[in-house]
Structure formats: C-alpha cells, structure tokens
Amino acid sequence: MTATSPPGTRATRTDTPAADAIGTTVLLALGLLSAIAPLATDLYLPTFPTMAAELGTSSTVIQLTLTTFLLGLTVGQLVFGPLSDRLGRRVPLVIGSALLVAASLACVLAPDPTVLVAARLVQGFAGAAGMVIGRAMIADMAAGPAAARAFSLMMLVSGVAPVIAPVLGGLLGDRLGWRGLLSLVLALSLIMLLTVLLGTRETLPAARRARRRERPAGAATTSPLRSRVYLGRTITFACSFAAMMAYISASPFIYQQLMGLGTAAYGAAFGANALALMAVSALSARLAARMAPARLLRIGIAALGISVAAGLALCLTGADPRWLMLPILTATAAQGLILGNATALALASVPQGAGTASAVLGALQFGLGALVTPLVSLGDGTGALPMLLVMAVCTLAAAAGGLIARTAPDEAAPPTVRTA
C-alpha cells in the first residue's frame, strides 16, 4: 500500500510500518529512554556547593562531574548509534541500560571526587544509548507526518527534561541532598532497564542490519553527512537547541538578579516556559496530520526569530527587564514546533542509517549546548545582551540550516511513504 505525504516531507524506505503503529505506550517508553540523560545532566546542579563541602574539594572539581558527563554523552551517542545500525536496536539498548544502572549506583556511593568524576563519565556514555537508539527506533517505525507526530509527542516526555531538571533539583535538593538526587537518577535507570527488557522489541529489520554490516565501518559512520537534507535539518535542530540552552544557562542571572525574582518566582517562571514548550509540542503533534513537518518547522523558526528580535529590541532600548519574560516564553514555546519536526525530517532523509544519523544529531546537539553555556556569561554587567546575542546567532544558523535543506536536490523529490 502506498500513501502520499504532504509536501515538504520525504521518505523512501520500503519497510516502514503503518503510521499508527507507534502507540502512546511505546512513545512514553521511548520518551523515558530519551529523558534519563537530560535529567541526569543537571538535576543535581543546585547541590554543587554542598557536594564540594562534603567531598572536601573545590567547585572546579565538582564542575568537572558535569563536563565529563557531557563528554560521555557525546561519545556514547557516536558509539551506540552506529552499533545499533549493525547489531539491531535492542541488544545495544540493553547493554547501555545495564551499564547506566551500574554507573548510577557508583555515583550514589562515590567515596571521593575521583570516583564520582569517573562514574559520571560512564553514566553519560551509557545514558546516551537511550537517547540515540530511541530516536532511531521511531525512525524505523514511521516516516513523514507520522514520524513528526511521534517525535513531537516524545518531546512531551524528553524535550522538557533539561528545562525542568534544575527546578526539581532546587525543590528537592535541601531535603534529599546530592546523593538523594543521584539516587533518583538510579531509580529512573532501573525503570529504564525494566522498560527495555519488558516493553521494547527489535525495530530494525534483519535485512537492513545485514546490509549495514556489509559496508565498511567508516563509510557507515560518514554516510549521513553526504546528505544535504540531513545536514541542513540537523543544523537547524542543534542550533535551535543551543538557543534554548543559552536561555537555560543564563536564566538564574536573568530572572533572579536582573528581574529581581525570588527563588519561588524563578521556579514559577521556569515552569511556565516548560509548560509552554509541552503545550506547543502537543499542538505540533496534532497539526502533523494536516500540515507538512517542513512547514511547521519554518513557522517555529520564524517564531523563534521574532521572539529573539523582540528581546534584543527590549534590551537595547532600556526597557524594564521584566518585559523580557514574554519573548523568552515565546522563544521557548517555539521549540515545540522545531525540535520534533527537525528530528523527523533529518532522520527520514537517511533511513538506511537512522542509528548513525541519530548519533551525529545528538552529539552535535549537546556539543553546541556545551559550547554556548559559557558564552552567555561574557560581558558581565551588560544584562541580558550576551544571552540574546548568542540566541540570535543560533537562530540565524538554524535558519541557514533550513535553506541548506530546501535547496538540496533530494528535498524537492516527490514525497512518498511506502508501508508494508
């Protein structure tokens, strides 16, 4: 049976299940797999001073636990993604989930900073498996509008994790301490392992695995990079996420010092932005049945650009800083139209290597996120301007990615989705 997709989508695989094959339960499970690592990234950030005191070390060493985690997360995606293209999705996912449990336990019981730093490196490496393979599994099961809907719904679970994690850490840190917060990550890791063992199945057909194993490893790793559509959509995804990370990393200064909000008000503002992101992600999932993912993506980038421009105008004209809450809210909400649709379009353009493509996408996502984090602190005393300038550059780069994809020859190919 052959179905035609709306303009702006493209998929050529011949072994994709029907669009409705991805049920809500499966999406929740995949969303959980993708949410563990982002939650583990910064859930414990509010307890950094306590950690330094209890472990008898400096804040620089404690900061290293975050740096090594991000390093492991980046490398892990580049390992587990190509591996899942060759061995299938389930076996690497089981290995990564089991290793995540062991590393999370080591973090909770760490007797000194050296063990904690090493355990966090392994934790990030193992946690990458759920993120990269979860995206690849959706790409195995759906394409076009169905994939865009699935990725948008998954954003409800996984996309808000890096936004709400600092809020949860702030609320629970005093009661649980840093070991208690890391124990929550351990509990989620155990749930993830059980979910993989009991609730997931292999989604990559044996024939595609065999074809992948016949190719040289180097060619398998670089093949997605030869698609201009994939590169363009991946640039859009990663740069848009980097814009959001710029806001997240600057938010304590922007809301508390610049706007004068207290801790509770800061948490409420942060939570409102997270709710806006969730609401627009849900809206994007509903609209995917009637509008092409590429069109939704363009609307999202336009909304992000307008929001950042409005913020810059407020900043440069000396307006009351509290007015910045509105463009920050709409910029965060716009991610609900961008991240899911950009992911769907990127992975659909290279269906024969979804694991590798997901790995490169994820590595670039967190690599850029780590890069922009220190940039927002430059120009101390200039208010919100550094954050907004970083967001503006990221938004322009995201729009440029869209132009790269739209001018590629294969983006204009007749869009079809064949289902078995």
Judge: domain 2-410, CATH 1.20.1250.20: yes
- Asked if residue 1 lies in contact with residue 417, where contact means CB atoms within 8 angstroms, the answer is no
The alpha carbons of the chain give a radius of gyration, in whole angstroms, of: 21
Residue 419 φ then ψ, to 5°: -120, 145
Comparing CA positions, the residue from 259, 264, 214, 239 lying closest to residue 397 is 239
Highest mean pLDDT among 1-10, 110-119, 287-296, 352-361: 110-119
Task: List Cβ<8 Å contacts ≥24 apart for 367-370.
Answer: 367/74, 367/238, 368/238, 368/239, 368/241, 368/242, 368/245, 368/394, 369/70, 369/241, 369/242, 369/245, 370/67, 370/70
Work out the average pLDDT over 7-14: 41
Whole-angstrom Cα distance, residue 294 to residue 143? 13
pLDDT at 163: 67
Indicate the pLDDT class of residue 245, thresholds 50, 70 and 90: confident
pLDDT at 238: 94
DSSP 16: B
- Give the position of tokens 């996984």: 158
Work out the average pLDDT over 305-323: 94
Question: Mind listing the pLDDT tens digit for each residue in 203-219?
Answer: 888 776 666 655 555 44
The overall average pLDDT reported for the chain is: 81
Indicate the pLDDT class of residue 413, thresholds 50, 70 and 90: very low
Domain borders along the chain are 2-410
Neighbours of 199 (CB within 10 A): 14
